[in-house]
Amino acid sequence: MLNMHYLDNAATSWPKPEAVYQTADKFMREIGANPGRSGHCLAKQADTIVEETRELLAEFFGAPDPKLVTFTFNGTDGLNLVIKGLLAPGDHAITSNIEHNSVSRPLRRLEQQGVDVTYLQADANGLLFAEDLAPLLRPETKLVIMSHASNVLGAVQDVAALAKVAHQNGALFALDAAQTAGHQPIDMQALGIDILVVPGHKGLLAPYGTGAVISLRDAGILPWRDGGTGIKSDSRMHPNELPYRLEGGTLNAAGIAGLGAAIKFINAEGLTNIAAKESNDMQQLLACLQAEERITIYGPRSAAERAGLVAFNVAGLSSAELGQQLNDDWRVAGRPGLHCSPLSHRAVGTFPDGSYRLSPGYFTTPNAIESVCAAIRQICREQ
């Protein structure tokens, strides 16, 4: 429905930059071939585009070598790859009590197989603190993994401080940047992020079916998928070299071409400009929500402390009822419920009903923000 006010960018960004549509379309119509296979000129062209996107990603996130960029099919795919490819029975891992299911569920499965997992507790606003992490570390702690910003509470973590403490004990620090990549600068080397997991289809403005795991050095992640790579086809074993080790099978090359175009778009617009625009939208939304007595907001009060999403409830309405009204009467597309993060909702007491989440994006217009605010004011005052 074209005339909706789309404020569900935390689920997936929409619309995409025009160049993303055009590049993915052009790739499928004019190149089409399988990158890294066959050796004919179309396959080589496809390969060049995939490798260019790999370079763009490495540069964008401050990784030292494009070979350390593995393409995945979404954030969940990358998080499963990291968690299941690193941890074995007897290992210890630390995560938080406000993670998305794509971190907490793979860990839960491994817990049943003999991996020990400790849950760092967030404060009431969803913030995690390095001083609380330090006592949880053990000699056998292999991995500390958490989100940069919760997709419910929105609080942006002090990654540098958390990574520093993890490193003091020799653990790897992995970051789920699903809600921050493409929204704010992330320099892996400066922040000490050993492994960064990003979906392409959210803040990076790329098509569905894209994402990446990016490492500062080869962390020894083992593949769960062996198969064709286009290299060393004579060997019975899947190759160990990166990026092939973790990329068995045909890539989503058209999506990756779109991801490359999306990163070029973000670079041209300027990530700091994007962050400033999104922060301004968030300030306006927060001001409008904070003015209503019936509204409870979850997470930090100020836009400066949060990613571009805000979850809240209106007293007297379930999140589903609010979502229905906003959709049906006001053409607002947001997200009610548990947001695939029941842990966050348990942490702030909104389980099992959840909350209603608004997440503007780079293409959200001032008119959309004003319309949503008007709708919320009316809903809060009329019932």
String marking each residue 270-309 x if it binds ligand PLP according to CB under 6 A: ----------------------------------------
Single residue of 176, 194, 247, 292 touching ligand PLP by CB under 6 A: 176
Q: Which is nearer to ligand PLP, 87 or 198 (CB)?
A: 198
Single residue of 5, 16, 100, 306 touching ligand PLP by CB under 6 A: 100
Map the footprint of ligand PLP across residues 132-171, applying CB under 6 A.
147, 151
Q: Considering the rule CB under 6 A, would residue 179 count as an interface residue with ligand PLP?
A: yes
CB of 101 to ligand PLP, least distance (A): 8
**340 belongs to the catalytic site:** yes
Cis peptide before 139 (omega within 30 of 0): no
Residue 82 and residue 295: Cα distance in Å, rounded? 38
CB of 44 to ligand PLP, least distance (A): 30
Residue 362 and residue 206: Cα distance in Å, rounded? 13
Single residue of 58, 98, 127, 178 touching ligand PLP by CB under 6 A: 178
Query: Which residues, in sequence order, are CB contacts of 77 under 8 Å at separation 6+?
Result: 211
Q: Considering the rule CB under 6 A, would residue 74 count as an interface residue with ligand PLP?
A: yes
Q: Considering the rule CB under 6 A, would residue 325 count as an interface residue with ligand PLP?
A: no
Single residue of 9, 96, 102, 350 touching ligand PLP by CB under 6 A: 102
8 Å CB contact between 306 and 155? yes
Q: Considering the rule CB under 6 A, would residue 72 count as an interface residue with ligand PLP?
A: no
Active site residues: 340
Contact residues toward ligand PLP (CB under 6 A) are 11, 74-76, 100, 102, 147, 151, 176, 178-179, 199, 211, 340
